[in-house]
Structure 1
Amino acid sequence: MGILLVDSYDSFTFSLENLLETATGIKVFTIRNDSFSLPKDKKLLDDILDSVQAVVIGPGPGSPQNPDDVGIIPYIFEKKDLPILGICLGFQCLSLKYGCTMKYLNDPVHGQVHAIHLCTPIDALFESIPDDFKSVRYHSIYIDGAFDTDVVPLAFSSDCDSAKKPILMAAKHKKFPHYGVQYHPESICSEYGDQLIKNFWKIAQTVRPEASSDHNSIPRAISYQPLIPRVDNINNRFLYQYKKLNVSLDTITICDNLSPDFLLLNSAANPGNWSIIGIPIKEMSDVLTHSTENPSILRTSTWGNKDFEETCLTHNESIWTYLSSYMAERFFKPCIDDSSLRKCPFVGGLVGFLSYEEGKYVNINRLKKITESDIPDTKMCFIERFIAIERETQHCYVVSIRPDDRKWIEATSHVLESVTSTLIQPKMIEKIRIELPIKQTYFRKFAACQKYLRSGDSYELCLTTTTKVHIARKDLSYWKLYKNMILKNASPYSVFMDFGDAQVLSTSPERFIYWDHKRCQMRPIKGTVKKTEKTGYASACQELLIPKEMGENLMIVDLIRHDLYTLLKDVKVSKLMGVEEYQTVYQLVSVIEGDLESSPYRGIDLLHLALPPGSMTGAPKKRSVELLQEIEDDNRRGIYSGVVGYWSVNDTADWSVIIRTLYSYKDDLEDTKDTKCMRCGAGGAITVLSTAEGEWKEMNIKMDSTLQVFD
């Protein structure tokens, strides 16, 4: 027994897989629609279809009339006695197979909750479901002409097409056990999705009570081996030592009184609580560098050392396997007797960033160069010494995991206990030239996004732009610039990192992923309102809790649920579209959590699988990343849209999305003898409800929250 799920590279597939298994209790086998080449693999595919009791054909981007978008799906409908449920693209394929026609909606519907009305008499597919219920729609194409074909209408939406007819939402074949729904039962906001699946499974068992159950030849859509086994090899190379300072100091004061060599993760606002100041040891702390421009090479060096060694990665290795092996040798669980410090999630480990291009689906070979040498896409430093500051209490701890490091702890504590708090004074940077995005160019790219949204190739595209800030070298101090940034825009995931060949100055409000041994958490942000004297929390809620903004957020929530369900069984949305207040803006935030305790996978597997962040791509992710690369003219996003944070030796990690950020590279092609180029990315989710003027305004609000440092 089993159910075959056919995936068309959608970003909701594994949420659907989970729904199928949860509702039926039956094992689901997921394959891609291009897993077989017909007619060459016809017998193998036939054997697989004979081995399962039912097939579910899932959603996907593109058109049911495009062979490249649908693959083997039309052939599956040749199996007249096989129970089939088509969803969205699968429903459209079913309808075209049996004589219907397809048309494009004048107003496509992506990520919107709509009422679904059942036809009478109610079909067995909708048993125990009310005549009217709500579900989420993602489609640009609709099906017409069902009344004059072998297709029996089962449900409609009250929305009308250009001919003023309701839109077909569900149907079945007159004789064959082939069913379909246009809406998405797996969405977080869809009602009665589990009941629909239970009803279909009941129908399938009646039609095909037995199957051969030989599933060994089914090519799985995802066959993912954990990067690190769940069994920890805890080493004894480290010794956790600390001293609690007798004074309360703010993070900036501490940094002002340290050497310039530090890496700062600064939780300057809720919901962050712990700030970490990593202290690299000159010519001792490991630094790992990787570039997608030379992906088979990893460079290892020590902090402040210009010399490096190159490690050649084999065809079975990647930056991800290297980082995982590196950390697996260093896992450490300290015993901490201070009840407050015990809550600090970081106990030493890797600190740094991963660029957008280290994620999936980017065509690296087409990207334009922006640096003279290979661009640093991954920079990590292994931190053994750090200072931890609890924001609520301002308790400060000097910590080391290096054995016999008491001398450093005492010396550092003595320095810090003798200083007074620093009052941040804004420092104007006078000689700058800012290259802002060109409105006409942005509008051209916006129109390209709309074309792909209306064709059904994407539901949401996160279009981004880059502003270049040319600063006179004699006026440039990265640290002073960062202090100005947090003075004007304190944030929960603020970062200052100067690796020498790359600098990151961030005031990001968005957590990408947090994990520990028990759980992971992702906090996507979609929806932004600028704070003004006239814009309070109540008015911000009115502006954000509208179909456009909620649709943007909902699509990313559904995408992230899919990403987590790819590896995890237990995923929950603990906050859906809540309005949160930050220093310069209000944001629409959701929180999605997954259970790692009962999983063979670790957080690093999820980071690898889910990068680049869905809130910076749109959905479906694969097609959207490919389209955005084309629309953005093959320009690198680089550090912007990547992630920055830490991976601690206790296998706890926290990574934020790199937005609201200034960043630079040592040998940027835009540098001159007298000026340094810093870059600032900004963007927003384009949906069919977006307007060019509205998105241009929102993009500038986000950009201004960073560029105001130069006012």
Structure 2
Amino acid sequence: MTSPALFQNVICDQPVNVQEILSYLDDLPHLIYLKNNQSPVISFLPCQFECVKNGVRQTYQRTQLDQYIPIESSLSFKQFENNQSNSDGFQGGFMGFISYDFASAQHVKVHSKDQPSFWLGLFQTYLKFQDDVWYFYSDEPEAEQIFTFIQNKLESTSNVTPLQLTQSCQARWNKQQYQHAFTQVQEYIKAGDCYQINLTQEFKGQAEGRLLSVAQEFWQLTDAPYSGYLKTEDFELLSCSPELFIEFLAEKKLVTKPIKGTMPRYADAERDAQSKHQLQHSSKDQAENVMIVDLLRNDLSVYAETGTVKTPKLFEIESFNQVHHMVSEVTATLKPNVKALDVLLAALPGGSITGAPKIRAMQIIEELEGAPRGAYCGSLGYFNFDGTGSWNILIRSIQKYQQDISLWAGGGVTIASDCDAEYQECFDKVSAMLDLLNTWQKPQS
């Protein structure tokens, strides 16, 4: 039985930004956008999807254009890795997110946020931005009907409810509370439990309306290569992530680019160059970075062909709008019978946002941070049917479930770390996003 031919057509030839398009499609029950390192894609109307919330896993099947019913079976991966892709980016397959809570629960006992912790959909219909226009793609039997349906939506009126914070987004810890957790981490390091812990803190508030209504401003602020957006019912996830977790390439090759080491950007060119130089020559940050590189090399070696795990780049400095980051690169070639999805699930959560050794680090994080991370430090991305794909690390990301809204930040703590510097690093990473978010504070009556 042959698959339907791929239907392709220009659906929007105007210079419309991503938020506008997402806003027109907002009444669809599920919506995902990935910037995907300059290969933008928007997916909607999954044929099937699987969601985990509060430990309960449920699969749904599309029955009508945008109607779904629960089914007994799990999400079907029978098409997975059957065909070889011919072009870059998403071409139909699986797209979604895996939270830190879900990923860490594979290894240790953790609490989980009261919101979706895993969502993965099977998409055969999507939009891609190519040659300065948005193209519609679908290989579903109803492709032309769906094209007309989506085209009508893009010509209608957007009714996204504006975001308003009823309680400003503030740090859950004060300086003294952070210092207590920091000291506990260093005591564990002295005792030999670990070498490094990625200690993070939550900035939380309350909000009405939709994160989507302000998404474009955050994407313009950060200009992050692995930004994105996911909506499923009353849960929204807005990513401004600069960090690639794993990119799965053709011929079973993969690359991961851990970030460990951060310094702030400055408007003054001389001061900014000094900040970059300081990071570039920081022995403390290099020590942190190489620990995570070693951890990732170890994680990947289980699934990789012997001798293929390499480190072509070490301690490179990449500059983003708010910060300079120290970034390394690890590459590998997977064994023939290894499935990309299995590698992703086994490698999550990433070493750059846990610590080393990873299992003990996750236990210490669960003990000390005092609140579940939710989607933060999880991963958002996609797989094509041939197993190629790209998944980020969900840092610099805002999550909203019902009225709860939160943003997290942190950094790697080693025996050489300074508490004041680590505390400041949290704010260096998210202060611009936090200040922007709090501009939508609801006026007091």
Corresponding residue for residue 280 of structure 1: 45
Q: Deviations over 1:12-55 (max 9, x none)?
A: xxxxxxxxxxxxxxxxxxxxxxxxxxxxxxxxxxxxxxxxxxxx
Give the Cα–Cα distance (whole angstroms) in 2 for the partners of residues 528 and 238 of structure 1: 48
Q: Any residues of structure 2 matched to 1:13-162 within 5 Å, and which?
A: none
1:600–1:626 Cα change, 3 Å: same
Confirm whether residue 300 of structure 1 aligns to residue 60 of structure 2. yes
Q: Any residues of structure 2 matched to 1:400-439 within 5 Å, and which?
A: 400-403=138-141, 405-409=143-147, 412=150, 429=164, 431-436=166-171, 437-439=173-175
1:601–1:253 Cα change, 3 Å: same
1:411–1:361 Cα change, 3 Å: closer
* Partners of 2:196 and 2:356 within 8 A in 1: yes
Give the Cα–Cα distance (whole angstroms) in 2 for the partners of residues 265 and 366 of structure 1: 29
Give the Cα–Cα distance (whole angstroms) in 1 for the partners of residues 258 and 323 of structure 2: 15
Q: Any residues of structure 2 matched to 1:214-293 within 5 Å, and which?
A: 236-244=2-10, 247=13, 249=15, 250-261=17-28, 263-267=31-35, 272-280=37-45, 285-291=47-53, 293=54
1:564–1:401 Cα change, 3 Å: same
Give the Cα–Cα distance (whole angstroms) in 2 for the partners of residues 680 and 607 of structure 1: 24
Instruction: In structure 2, give the amino acid aligned to 1:486.
Output: W
**Superposition deviation, residue 451 in structure 1:** 0.5
Confirm whether residue 355 of structure 1 aligns to residue 355 of structure 2. no
Give the Cα–Cα distance (whole angstroms) in 2 for the partners of residues 344 and 432 of structure 1: 43
Instruction: In structure 2, give the amino acid aligned to 1:516.
Output: L
Confirm whether residue 687 of structure 1 aligns to residue 420 of structure 2. no
**Superposition deviation, residue 412 in structure 1:** 4.8
Question: Among the aligned pairs, what percent are the same residue?
Answer: 24
1:663–1:351 Cα change, 3 Å: same
* Partners of 1:356 and 1:641 within 8 A in 2: yes
Please, which runs of 5 or more residues in structure 2 have no aligned partner? 440-445
**Superposition deviation, residue 350 in structure 1:** 1.8
* Partners of 1:385 and 1:399 within 8 A in 2: yes
* Partners of 1:512 and 1:656 within 8 A in 2: yes
**Superposition deviation, residue 459 in structure 1:** 0.9
Q: Deviations over 1:193-248 (max 9, x none)?
A: xxxxxxxxxxxxxxxxxxxxxxxxxxxxxxxxxxxxxxxxxx74453221246836
Give the Cα–Cα distance (whole angstroms) in 2 for the partners of residues 684 and 650 of structure 1: 35
Higher RCO (C-alpha under 8 Å, 6+ residues apart): 2
Give the Cα–Cα distance (whole angstroms) in 2 for the partners of residues 306 and 395 of structure 1: 31
Alignment counterpart, residue 580 of structure 1, candidates 309, 313, 318 = 318
Question: Secondary structure at the residue paired with 1:600?
Answer: coil
Corresponding residue for residue 624 of structure 1: 361
1:623–1:629 Cα change, 3 Å: same
* Partners of 2:169 and 2:434 within 8 A in 1: no
1:412–1:665 Cα change, 3 Å: closer
Give the Cα–Cα distance (whole angstroms) in 2 for the partners of residues 438 and 362 of structure 1: 31
TM-score of the superposed pair, with normalisation by structure 1: 0.55
1:621–1:683 Cα change, 3 Å: same
Give the Cα–Cα distance (whole angstroms) in 2 for the partners of residues 246 and 488 of structure 1: 25
1:305–1:565 Cα change, 3 Å: same
Instruction: In structure 2, give the amino acid aligned to 1:344.
Output: D
Q: Deviations over 1:458-489 (max 9, x none)?
A: 11100111111212x2xx22211222211222
1:366–1:604 Cα change, 3 Å: closer
Give the Cα–Cα distance (whole angstroms) in 2 for the partners of residues 410 and 428 of structure 1: 30
**Superposition deviation, residue 345 in structure 1:** 2.3
**Superposition deviation, residue 401 in structure 1:** 1.7
Confirm whether residue 522 of structure 1 aligns to residue 256 of structure 2. yes
* Partners of 1:244 and 1:397 within 8 A in 2: yes
TM-score of the superposed pair, with normalisation by structure 2: 0.86
Higher share in strand: 2
Q: Deviations over 1:430-457 (max 9, x none)?
A: 6432231221111100000001112221
Give the Cα–Cα distance (whole angstroms) in 2 for the partners of residues 344 and 708 of structure 1: 36
1:301–1:682 Cα change, 3 Å: farther
Give the Cα–Cα distance (whole angstroms) in 1 for the partners of residues 12 and 400 of structure 2: 38
Confirm whether residue 608 of structure 1 aligns to residue 374 of structure 2. no
Please, which runs of 5 or more residues in structure 1 have no aligned partner? 1-234, 312-321, 336-341, 667-675
Q: Which structure has the greater CA radius of gyration?
A: 1
Give the Cα–Cα distance (whole angstroms) in 2 for the partners of residues 498 and 237 of structure 1: 29
Instruction: In structure 2, give the amino acid aligned to 1:287.
Output: F
Question: Secondary structure at the residue paired with 1:689?
Answer: coil
* Partners of 2:108 and 2:362 within 8 A in 1: no
Q: Any residues of structure 2 matched to 1:152-551 within 5 Å, and which?
A: 236-244=2-10, 247=13, 249=15, 250-261=17-28, 263-267=31-35, 272-280=37-45, 285-291=47-53, 293-294=54-55, 297-300=57-60, 302=62, 308-309=70-71, 326-329=76-79, 331=81, 333=83, 342-360=86-104, 367=111, 370-371=113-114, 375-390=115-130, 393-403=131-141, 405-409=143-147, 412=150, 429=164, 431-436=166-171, 437-471=173-207, 473=208, 476-518=209-251, 519-534=253-268, 535-537=271-273, 539-551=275-287
Corresponding residue for residue 671 of structure 1: none
